[in-house]
Amino acid sequence: MPQSPQPRFRRDYRPAPYAIERVDLCFEIRPGETTVVAKLSVRRNSEVDAASADLVLDGESLHLLEISLDGHPLDEARYRVAATGLTLLRPPASFELRTVVRISPENNSALSGLYRSSDTYCTQCEAEGFRRITFFLDRPDIMSVYRTRIEADKISCPVLLSNGNRVASGDLEGGRHWVQWEDPSPKPSYLFALVAGNLRCHRGEHTTPKGRRIELEIWVDPSDLAHCGHALSSLKKAMRWDEENYGLEYELDIYMIVAVSDFNMGAMENKGLNVFNTKYVLADPATATDDDYENIEAVIAHEYFHNWTGNRVTCRDWFQLTLKEGLTVFRDQSFTADLRSDPVKRILDVKTLRAVQFAEDAGPMRHPIRPESYIEMNNFYTVTVYNKGAEVVRMYRTLLGRDGFRKGMDTYFARHDGHAVTCDDFRAAMADANETDLRQFERWYDQAGTPILRAEGRYHPQSEIYELDLEQIGPQGEPLPEGRAWHVPIAMGLLDADGQDIPLRLEGEVDASAGTRVLELRRARQTFRFTRVKDPPTPSLLRGFSAPVQLRSERSREDLAFLMRHDSDRFNRWDAGQTLATSVLLEMAGQLRNGVTAKLDPLFLSGFEALLDDTAAEGSWLALALTLPDEHVLGQAMDIVDVDNLHLAREAAQRELSELFGARLTRIYADNHDATYSSEKRAIDRRRLKNTALRYLTARGTSASIALAWNQFEAADNMSDSEAALAQLLDMDTPERDRALAVFYARWREVPLALDKWFSLQALPQRIHTVARVRTLLSHDDFNLSNPNRVRSLVQAFSTRNQVGFHSSDGAGYALLADVVVAVDAKNPQLAARLSTGLSQWRRFDGRRSKAMKTQLERIAARPQVSRDVFEIAGRALGRMDR
């Protein structure tokens, strides 16, 4: 790093001095080199002073071949070229700039800008990749109309795609051809896309409520053509859902999706031409699990929903990223909840939030959903911006109600369609549409960290009043300074002794509301008084996880066990069970630390037993309720994570449950096992429940359970069952383990997405020494540092989903991760930076582990060639940068 990279600050936002109204691009694609001819119609903004108005265009890894202004070659004295861009010195008020640059997609391993994935040329411009294609004002508030001409070889690149409509095409000499595209809607450069390659199309169509017919095209490698059906039907469902729920239609005549195998993220919402990771497009029952099907449906919907929340209304600057991402994640979460199961989806989302976002919020990478500064924007595509951002949007809906929220959305679109706006604009639309004051709600945007919510209840038998004291404090338990309290919606209910919700009537109210109601906590402390409460109730707080806070209330294990049985809110019923299990498992870990045998609390056992008997419960919900909190979540409840004893405690608990309830688990397994695959919801529920039973049944490693897992593996006609069985076999010391692994490899070695699972599965086992195996796999013929899916499937799975393996006390896991970060950083800084976050929590581990993690971080950061992506992550993790 020649010079320490400098941060950008939100407060420094200024409009650009020039607008770029039209962009005319021509790509000449040739093996080894591509030239890009760009004609930009530029106009100085009227309020800008001509004397100070140099035009600074961004550019990166571009080789400038020609430059002219209004048709005349530009004199060298009138511009300057640097490593970060091109400056035009005092250009006229209005002009056409023409540049010709050479770029090299074949050598672009960063997967940003124009690059090659397998044999396909494709682009990724968000956040700042367009500047790697041509010189431009590469910022989202510059919205322009694009025309794109692509020229390439006809045999190797028969398909040439870009945004908008295909308006003309023709042949050229030398076996080449061209296509001309026009995108009528002005867009920011990050939504530009181009694809050229040998692809096949899976076609469909959709008719909007207004009766407009839209062509749907999914473009994939010819060998994948049979696996696009699920993606297409997901797209149609998403279109219908947005029409029905928000009255939003797609406005172009064609919607294209392209699947590529080398991609840094899940997918990209480029206008009219989404580019997807193959992982979120291709599916058939033999290679994709039920979870994969659900994820594909969600990502397809997410990118489609961006057409309104992101593309038509876009972000003024990158500090506003949560404006489009938080909102669009919230929309895809609602979609999945509607199509599948509301409580199950809520539980899954909150699990991610707590496991990943709460950890980010509590560590050195902490930032508000609208950050104040960044060095490398790509590092800010975080769970905080996305998932906590979605929680913030959800709170508007909880506070304003569904109708109020919809009114706010309508106002937002009516005001801002076609514009680049801010999070404040969104909040203002919500407030104005509902004639309410949401000023305090800004704390959710400008304050980092997870608030702590303390709750304490008191029952007064004489007056029949139940008093609920609520207090909010800062993430570290500090009292909040004046004016820093959050505006927190708290959905709650009170249960009577039979477990029924009682009618709720706050002091001074005449009518009672039945069931759940939403309290608004605005001050640091507030007391709510419920009247005419006949008997001492059991409170159920934060139903549906109505706010992203940490609830601390002194609840007895009896109360938790009671809620685990009776709460009418299925999220809170699950949550009570998890809270009880956490308390019990932490106690067991403590016993193990002191050399005492650890046993499960009978209260938990009877709660677990009641779940096993709940034959009416939805299978996917029950599978989650029967699963113990994972080791990362348990670790978060400790100041210093006791890696080994948490692992032993959880294992002991699973074995004990397996012993005590073996007969019932066997029955659940048998009752829910289907010989043939179906994609119906009911079949998915049954598979999830069955595979949860399998996990317990194999916990003791009996030969009967090995046979059960092996038989399931051998007979499975779908990936959910095959993967679940193999995962269990891998955790057991038996010859079937290696046999199954070999069978799986032989079957799937030619199918990348399935082979990714083979790598992941071997990174996850906890009962054997996994670091060595992962190290060996790094040298496997099928391992490839250039393919992000493959790297993530092995290395990220290991570092983020196997606590006891990754944190092996000799530090071998950390050294492995750091080695991979260093090797990947030379090719793909974005991916390397993401991997390196696995070391950021070093302060939360014991002395030896902590030191080993820190040493690796220092090693990564100290290299002279470190990218700014990794430099920023490692620097922040080491506490060398303030926020």
Site string for Zn ion, 311-330 (x = CB under 5 A): --------------x--x--
Q: Which of residues 36-95 bind ligand TRP (CB under 6 A)?
A: none
Segment near ligand TRP (CB under 6 A); pick from 121-129, 512-520, 700-708, 866-874: 121-129
Token digits of residue 520? 């608004």
- As measured in angstroms, the least distance from the Cβ of 262 to ligand TRP is 12
Q: Choose among Zn ion, ligand TRP, none what residue 265 binds, the Cβ cut-off being 5 to 8 Å by kind.
A: ligand TRP
Binding mask 325-354 for Zn ion (x = CB under 5 A): x--x--------------------------
Kindly identify the residues of this chain, within the stretch 406-445, that bind ligand TRP according to CB under 6 A.
Answer: none
| Nearest CB to ligand TRP, comparing residues 219 and 318 | 318
Backbone angles phi, psi at 183, to 5 degrees: -110, 110
The region of 6-14, 132-140, 265-273, 505-513 touching ligand TRP under the rule CB under 6 A is 265-273
Of 264-272, 460-468, 566-574, 835-843, the window that binds ligand TRP (rule: CB under 6 A) is 264-272
Measured CA to CA, the distance from residue 101 to residue 215 in angstroms comes to: 34
Q: Distance (Å, rounded) from C-alpha 168 to C-alpha 562? A: 68
* Alpha carbon distance 409, 419 (integer Å): 15
Q: Which is nearer to Zn ion, 120 or 328 (CB)?
A: 328
Specify which residues 612 forms β-bridges with: none
Q: Which stretch binds ligand TRP (CB under 6 A): 260-268, 604-612, 625-633, 669-677?
A: 260-268
Name the residue nearer to Zn ion (CB basis): 325 or 631. 325
Phi, psi of 407 (to 5 degrees): -60, -40
The DSSP letter of residue 484 is: -
Token couple for 469: 């004291």
CB of 111 to ligand TRP, least distance (A): 8
Q: What separation in angstroms does the CA of 445 have from each of 306, 407, 672? A: 21, 21, 45
Q: Return the SS3 of 539.
A: strand
Considering only the stretches 168-176, 263-271, 505-513, 714-722, report the one whose residues sit in contact with ligand TRP under the rule CB under 6 A.
263-271
Q: Which does 381 bind (CB under 5 to 8 A by kind): Zn ion, ligand TRP, none?
A: ligand TRP
The answer to whether the peptide bond before residue 637 is cis (omega within 30 degrees of 0) is no
Q: Sheet harboring 55-58: ordered strands across? A: 55-58, 85-88, 79-82
Q: Which is nearer to Zn ion, 328 or 546 (CB)?
A: 328
Site for ligand TRP (CB under 6 A): which residue of 27, 121, 381, 798? 381
Closest CA to 123 of 251, 255, 34, 238: 34
Q: Identify whether the C-beta of residue 34 lies closer than 8 Å to the C-beta of residue 395.
A: no
For ligand TRP, which residue of 264, 333, 718, 836 counts as binding (CB under 6 A)?
264
Q: Is 126 in the site for ligand TRP (CB under 6 A)?
A: yes
Across the strands, what pairs with 540?
A: 493
Q: Which of 134, 336, 378, 720 binds ligand TRP (CB under 6 A)?
A: 378
Report the nearest approach of ligand TRP to the CB of residue 819 (Å): 24
Choose between 301 and 626: whose C-beta lies nearer to ligand TRP.
301
Q: Which of these segments, 119-127, 251-259, 488-496, 704-712, binds ligand TRP (CB under 6 A)?
A: 119-127
269 binds ligand TRP per the rule CB under 6 A: yes
Classified as helix, coil or strand, 115 is strand
Q: What is the full DSSP assignment across 25-70?
A: EEEEEETTEEEEEEEEEEEE-TTS-GGG--EEEE-SS-EEEEEEET
Burial (0-12, 13-18, 19+ Cβ within 10 Å), 745:
middle
Q: Measured at CB, which residue is nearest to ligand TRP?
A: 265
Q: How far is CA 300 from the centre of its chain?
A: 13
Give which of ligand TRP, Zn ion, none residue 127 binds (C-beta under 5 to 8 Å, depending on kind).
ligand TRP
- 124 is an interface residue for ligand TRP by CB under 6 A: yes
Separation of alpha carbons 549 and 473, rounded Å: 10
| Lookup result for tokens 């002191």 | 594
- Yes or no: say if 211 and 137 are a contact pair by the CB < 8 Å rule: no
SS3 of 369, please? coil
| Minimum distance of Zn ion from residue 446's CB (angstroms) | 22
- Total number of residues that touch ligand TRP (CB under 6 A): 13
Please say which residue, 328 or 698, places its beta carbon nearer to Zn ion.
328
Measured from the CB atom, the residue of 360 and 685 that comes closer to ligand TRP is 360
267/430 with CB nearer ligand TRP:
267
Nearer to ligand TRP, 326 or 539 (CB): 326
Nearer to ligand TRP, 124 or 828 (CB): 124
CB of 589 to ligand TRP, least distance (A): 38
Angle ∠(154,158,164) on CA atoms, nearest 5: 125
CA within 13 Å, CB half, 415: 18
Taking only Cα atoms into account, the Rg of the chain, rounded to an integer number of angstroms, comes to: 28
**Which is it for strands 113-117 and 120-124: parallel, antiparallel or unpaired?**
antiparallel
Q: Which 8-state DSSP code applies to residue 226?
A: G
The residue (of 302 and 543) whose beta carbon lies closer to ligand TRP is: 302
Q: Give the residue with the Cβ less far from ligand TRP, 273 or 708.
A: 273
Sign of CA dihedral 597, 600, 602, 605: negative
SS (H, E, C) 577-589: HHHHHHHHHHHHH
Q: Which residue has the tokens 């059906």?
A: 229
Query: Pick from Zn ion, ligand TRP, none: which does 267 bind, CB < 5 to 8 A by kind?
Result: ligand TRP
State yes or no: residue 127 binds ligand TRP (CB under 6 A).
Answer: yes
Identify what 124 binds: ligand TRP, Zn ion, none; CB under 5 to 8 Å per kind: ligand TRP
Query: Given 126, 128, 217, 303, which residue is catalytic?
Result: 303
In angstroms, the CA 274 to CA 278 distance is 12
By CB under 6 A, the residues from 311 to 370 that bind ligand TRP are 325
Closest to 694 measured CA to CA, from 702, 5, 376: 702
Show the tokens assigned to 586.
């932490």
Per-residue contact flags (x/-) with Zn ion for residues 269 to 308, judged by CB under 5 A: ----------------------------------------
Our finding on whether 268 is near ligand TRP (CB under 6 A) is: yes
Binding mask 280-309 for ligand TRP (x = CB under 6 A): ----------------------xx------
Burial 20-42 (b: 16+ CB within 10 A, else e): beebbbbbbbeeeebbbbbebbb
Stretch that binds ligand TRP, among 259-267, 730-738, 778-786, 875-883 (CB under 6 A): 259-267
Q: How far apart are CA 323 and CA 314, in angstroms?
A: 8
Residue (126 or 501) nearer to Zn ion, CB: 126
Size of the site for Zn ion (CB under 5 A): 2
The nearest distance, CB 279 to ligand TRP, in angstroms, is 13
Q: Give the DSSP letter of residue 101.
A: E
In whole angstroms, what is the distance from residue 689 CA to residue 651 CA? 20
Per CB under 6 A, the list member of 74, 88, 256, 267 interacting with ligand TRP is: 267
Closest approach, Cβ 268 to Zn ion, in A, equals 8
For the bound state, the minimum distance from the C-beta of residue 811 to ligand TRP, rounded and expressed in Å, comes to 31
Least Å distance, CB 124 to ligand TRP, is: 5
| Catalytic residue check, 558 | no
In the sheet that holds 273-277, the strands lie side by side as 200-207, 213-220, 254-260, 273-277, 267-268
State in angstroms the smallest separation of the CB of 272 from Zn ion: 16
Q: What does the block give as tokens for 489?
A: 């919606």
Residues interacting with Zn ion, by CB under 5 A? 325, 328
Catalytic positions: 303
Chain positions contacting ligand TRP, by CB under 6 A: 124, 126-127, 264-265, 267-269, 302-303, 325, 378, 381
